[in-house]
Structure 1
Amino acid sequence: MAIVVQKYGGSSLGTTEKIQNVTERIIEEKEKGQQVVVVVSAMGDATNHLVQSARDISLHPDARDMDLLISTGEQVTSSLMSLALKERGADAISMTGWQAGIQTEESFGNAAISSIDLTRIHQHLQKGKIVVVAGFQGCTSSGEICTLGRGGSDTTAAALAAELKAIRCDIFTDVDGVYTADPRVMKNARKLPSMNYEGLLNLAKMGAKVIHPRAVQHAKEHQVPLVVRSSFNKEEGTSIHHHHSVRDDSSAIGLTFEEGLSRVRLYSSDGEPLKSSALLQLLKKEEVTIKGNQVEADGSFTVILRNEDLYQTLSCFNRNKEKIGIGRMNHSTGLAAAHLVFIDEQSADQFKSRLSMPTELTNTDLWPFSSRPEVYSVLVDEKQAGRTCQILHDSCVESCLDLQAHIN
């Protein structure tokens, strides 16, 4: 009997009423003759509330205690989901991550799954049960509960689907598929009926919130078909698979954006170009997340990072300025980035070589920078971010779709 894995995010499970509504879709899949494994996130903002409760008590809570605490959010949801399914006459069982056989490395807050023992899941499936697994968590070989970091429930679902050799992994969220931009904030965003793993992985890495990159990587490595769809309607979602056709939108770009960024520009003390590798290595040791970097025409070096990492970054450069040869530096905050994301590096290069900025942005200060090879990124003042992203989306998406068809 074929196995289907369904994953439901926090926005789909924010209230007990929403949990009850979701049961209809789960039972429908079961009645098609499939074995069903359901992976659930915590309800709504439950994880945030747990984190805040911990911080009300301790400014620097212990990592082990935090993982034990926040893992309970998904456990609550899995129990409630199992109860709701039983109320509708379905045979179901809830399981924590460790009960489902998910073993992780010992890295509190951002553990990777090391193995999955499917014995208990298979036993319950063979008895005709719907198995409801608490996502976002697993257990080490020494018995410690560890969480999987941001998007951990997506990762749980994809990993289980891969190990179970599921025919499909459905990712249910609050939008009905993958769009060329976030439809909740961007007018004219278009839903992509299908795309390949690389396209979704590129979008996810650049901040598209429909699914976590680690989950896409699992699916890609094991060739698990994914479908991203809404839990609130029966619309067709976006199918993710290995191949793509130029007759649909699967090779199109998307646009993502992020706010709360800063820019630091460094100038050499001796007029020689700064060694970018040495600068980036310094920030890596400081565990600063680098959003992008750029060697400027005059030999100076620009780094893009989150506002919260600015002070640490400036302090790091000041401590090492003589060693690295930094003469002066300046910085600016209150910035946002718009990212045009392509299916691959070749497509991005083709687009960049033909790019001319829309005339509507002629008087807008834009700073192109390097983020990833398959991405064209520009930095802009946060006050201009919404307008800039809308113009870039409306002006570039259609031309990129045409370009992709030409390339292929």
Structure 2
Amino acid sequence: MSAVDDVEARIRRLDETRAAKSIQLHHLQQELRYNSIAGVDERLDSGLSVARLEVKVESGRNLLFKAGFLSGQWTYVRVTVEVLTKQLASTTVMEHQMTTKRPVSDAPRWNDMLLFQGLPAAVGTLRVDVMQEERIGADELVGTFILPLARFQDQRKIDKWYVLEKHEKTKISELFLSCKFQRSPISALELELELLQNQTNELHLFLGRHQNLIGLSLQESTNSMMSSKPLQGKEVISDETPEQTVSTRFSAVASFPPAMRKRELVEDMEVSVEMTRVKRQCVGAEKQANSLSDRIVNWLLPASALTTPTTTAKSNAASQNGVFSSEESLDRTSNQFFPFKQRTARTASAGPRRSRRSGRPFPATPPKTPKTPTTLQAIEKWLFTDKDGNPRDLPFGRQTSSY
């Protein structure tokens, strides 16, 4: 049997069940009516409620019992149902039932079914008490819990462990109950018929999709088996095939529209004469100074002083190169002007040094040897003194020494 055949058989079974439920619902509607205020079904002839509550006490665990001479050795469960009647007025109907007695243990088992029929309304509470039989006096309460009937409004069976309480304190003892509240057989059958109809619709939808897929596959197969028609038209072949050239990146760029050629150089076609680019030249009769000394001389001295030829020969090679001995440099510092300030050496003729304010003596220093003039000092002497050691005429007039 294929999956499709199985689905078809299931649809037939669902249809049969739905037909039987529909007949049963029709008979109930002729005998019962639904009371929307009380939330239960009532008989048409007598007006009595047909609601019923099934409570099955299964077993308990971790139950704690009292031990003593007067304490009994038997335990049982008492179930009390409290319902409001007369269209939710203050009148209360209470009904309680008890299970059979079992020996005291930490996990007793009862397996008793308690049935409450003819409940006048679906509003109320369910109270469950676990009791211990006493030899003298009233029985001892082991634990209790209260459940609202609204928890069972969907008319489904609920199996659950419930925690017992004693004196408003939670204990470790638990009781397992199985409850089902059949308040309206008509609404229960209507809901069941709706679920059966939904299942049937889903199966019919599955079959329809399957048939569509089969039809598409058959149509594709028939189309492929049919002979294809020849193409209508005339084939055009060009006489001359254009010569294929090697593609380069320049040809690829040239194929772009002009607006996309951002980096393409646009030449002016009107200008046909190439303009020669002339380098800028310094216009002047002065000779370009290459060395540092020539640049300083061109900056400090006038141009006339540079053009006058020096016919006298140099008496000393050292003075010609701008280098002097240390003795000559020390002797000529008094009557020469240098724009660069320098520190003069202290001579012995200046007298003894003044003592320190702190009273500490000066450290003994060895006699200093005269220092060799620096290159800058030698250039100064060469620029601003003549061959005899006399100062030259400065371009900005005679200036006194700044020190």
* Bigger Rg, which one: 2
User: Same fold by TM (over 0.5)?
Assistant: no
What TM-score results when the alignment is normalised by the length of structure 1?
Answer: 0.18
What TM-score results when the alignment is normalised by the length of structure 2?
Answer: 0.19
Instruction: Identify, as 1 or 2, the structure richer in helix.
Output: 1
